[in-house]
Chains A and B, each alone.
Chain A
Amino acid sequence: MLLTMFLLGALYVVFIGVLLAAGAGVVTMVVVIGALSLAQLFFSDKLAMSAMGAKIVTPEQAPGLHAMIERLCIQADLPKPRIAVADTDMPNAFAMGRSQKNAVVCATTGIMNILEPHELEGVMAHELTHVKNRDVMVMTLASFFASIAAMITQFGFFFGGGFGGGDDDEGPGFAVVLLVSFAVYVISFFLMLALSRYREYGADRGAAIITGRPSALASALMKLSGAMQRVPDQDLRQASGMNAFFIVPTSVKNSAKTLFMTHPPMEARIARLQQYEAQLQGTTAAAA
């Protein structure tokens, strides 16, 4: 984790240096992308919810889910998030919102039907850990520079033909900036995926600690990994944009290519949860 973040940071420092050397237009670009990232940070919850067709539910509409989350919040020392339910058979859950105060936790009707209460509790604790760890904020910040790089790459392709061989005082050629941006984008893309996988392990571990039942989450993950593959492809594609904060990625094909995945492989997650259970059974202190 530290190494990943260090590499990300180092990469951006180099990148910014090169950009500054390249000269004009950079400030404007950073401001524009900064605004876009802020918008993403503020509206991601609404976007995700509308994409999933999720609606906020009151305690009267979903008393069981509310009561379960309330107790988990006491245990995790979190303010109560808004709770949403998406009416779809695809079993999934996600957490959104830029801060602990603005969080939304969503479950689909599918996941509530498939899982036993204690398994659902494990999944909800996983999502609450995303909230507690401020994962939306972390991932947005991490993606900020990656999107700058992506945008410059696009600008490069766009203007490359029209302004090729323009002024002499440009410093390093635009082609160099373009190449560097592209390299930065590719590398940061993989680092972000690594970061996302790390956050998933973190959320699993948090769920184990909050509920005190690592095996319940493991059993939920096993159920879900089986169920996810039975779901029609159309639903998967529709929701593929928001993988980062789902409990299970919506596409689990090619699970061998770990490098390209937002979530760690299911077997690895279950193996870690089994370790926590072993710690729980073997020592006096809770899984640490």
Chain B
Amino acid sequence: MGLFDSILGRTKIKQPARDRLFAMSTAYITLETSMGLKHRNAAGIVFQPLANADFASIVKDTDELLRSAAQDTGTTVESSDDEYGYSWIVLRDSDFEDLVVSLNVVSSNLEGGGYGDRLLCAVFSFESNGKPLYFIYNFKRGSYYPFVPTGEKSQDVEEALRLKAGIGGELPMEQELDRWFPLWEIPL
């Protein structure tokens, strides 16, 4: 949003930056080989559902598309709503690249229907020594950041900073730490 819009009080929501989502489809190899992480065969996408028929039908179509594609790729699809009123589509597949492609199907379908601004983030699930950690892709910013939950509402920021330093230039990382928003109760 430009200064002019802000002076006039016109709120606009950024359209998603989908292109950089694909950075993960190569970066996960670095994460696994040089940083000792393991991907947990799961990724999710979270968006804000709108209460109108058009939006509901797009979500339904997307869900059906994913489920029919799943017969070839073996990806399983789950949808759920969380207690904050946001919707999740959770995908599970041992082939990491299939996960990224499926996430892109969801985001491009929403965007195609004119609802790209409702996309919040995509989440990739990893583990390090058996402990879960996540890489969150912020669609508005077009950048990734790590999130290491340690309890219901607590996180390990030190570990997250270490992950950021370790991955270097492989992923477009969020540089401003005040944008590293936690995402509690990730259903994957």
Q: Contact residues of A with B, CB < 8 Å?
A: 1-2, 59-60, 63, 67-68, 70-71, 73-77, 79-80, 101, 117-118, 121, 129, 132-135, 138, 198-199, 201-203, 205-206, 209-213, 280-281, 284-286
Nearest CB of A to B45, in Å: 13
Cβ-based interface call for B158 (8 A): no
Q: Are B113 and A133 in contact (CB under 8 A)?
A: no
Q: Which of B1, B9, B84 contacts A198 (CB 8 A)?
A: B9
Q: Are A1 and B140 in contact (CB under 8 A)?
A: no
Q: Are B11 and A209 in contact (CB under 8 A)?
A: yes
Q: Are B178 and A284 in contact (CB under 8 A)?
A: no
Separation of A284 and B58 alpha carbons in the complex (Å): 11
Q: Are B115 and A206 in contact (CB under 8 A)?
A: no
Q: Are A80 and B140 in contact (CB under 8 A)?
A: no
Given known A-B contacts A68-B84, A284-B54, A285-B114, A74 and B9 have beta carbons under 8 A apart: no
Interface-lining segment among B61-69, B117-125, B127-135, B163-171: B117-125
Q: Which of A60, A77, A210 contacts B153 (CB 8 A)?
A: A60
Interface-lining segment among B24-32, B72-80, B89-97, B179-187: B179-187
Q: Are B6 and A117 in contact (CB under 8 A)?
A: no
Q: Are B181 and A209 in contact (CB under 8 A)?
A: no
User: Which residues of A are found within 8 Å of B52, using beta-carbon distances?
Assistant: 280-281
Cβ-based interface call for B50 (8 A): yes
Separation of A108 and B8 alpha carbons in the complex (Å): 29
The interface on chain B, measured as residues whose beta carbon lies within 8 A of the other chain's beta carbons, has a size of 39
Q: Are A211 and B48 in contact (CB under 8 A)?
A: yes
Q: Are A132 and B6 in contact (CB under 8 A)?
A: yes
Q: Are B85 and A118 in contact (CB under 8 A)?
A: yes
Known: A67-B182, A74-B181, A205-B11. 9 other contacts (CB 8 A): A71-B84, A77-B1, A79-B178, A80-B178, A117-B84, A132-B11, A209-B117, A212-B49, A280-B51
If over half of A's interface residues share one DSSP class (helix, strand or loop), that class is named, otherwise mixed; here it is helix
Write the chain A residue with the least CB distance to B12: A209
Q: Which of B6, B84, B140 contacts A133 (CB 8 A)?
A: B6
Nearest CB of B to A215, in Å: 8
User: Which residues of A are found within 8 Å of B162, using beta-carbon distances?
Assistant: none
User: Which residues of A are found within 8 Å of B54, using beta-carbon distances?
Assistant: 284
Nearest CB of B to A121, in Å: 7
Q: Which of B6, B115, B154, B182 contacts A134 (CB 8 A)?
A: B6
Q: Are A74 and B84 in contact (CB under 8 A)?
A: no
User: Which residues of B are found within 8 Å of A212, using beta-carbon distances?
Assistant: 48-51, 118
User: Which residues of A are found within 8 Å of B53, using beta-carbon distances?
Assistant: 281
Q: Which of A76, A118, A284 contacts B114 (CB 8 A)?
A: A284
Q: 7 A–B contact pairs at CB < 8 A?
A: A71-B183, A117-B85, A209-B12, A212-B49, A213-B50, A286-B13, A286-B118
Q: Are B13 and A209 in contact (CB under 8 A)?
A: yes
Q: Are B153 and A1 in contact (CB under 8 A)?
A: no
Write the chain B residue with the least CB distance to A206: B11
Nearest CB of B to A132, in Å: 6
Against A, the Cβ 8 Å flags (1 = close, 0 = not) of B1-40 are 1000011111111100000000000000000000000000
Q: Are A202 and B11 in contact (CB under 8 A)?
A: yes
Nearest CB of A to B151, in Å: 11
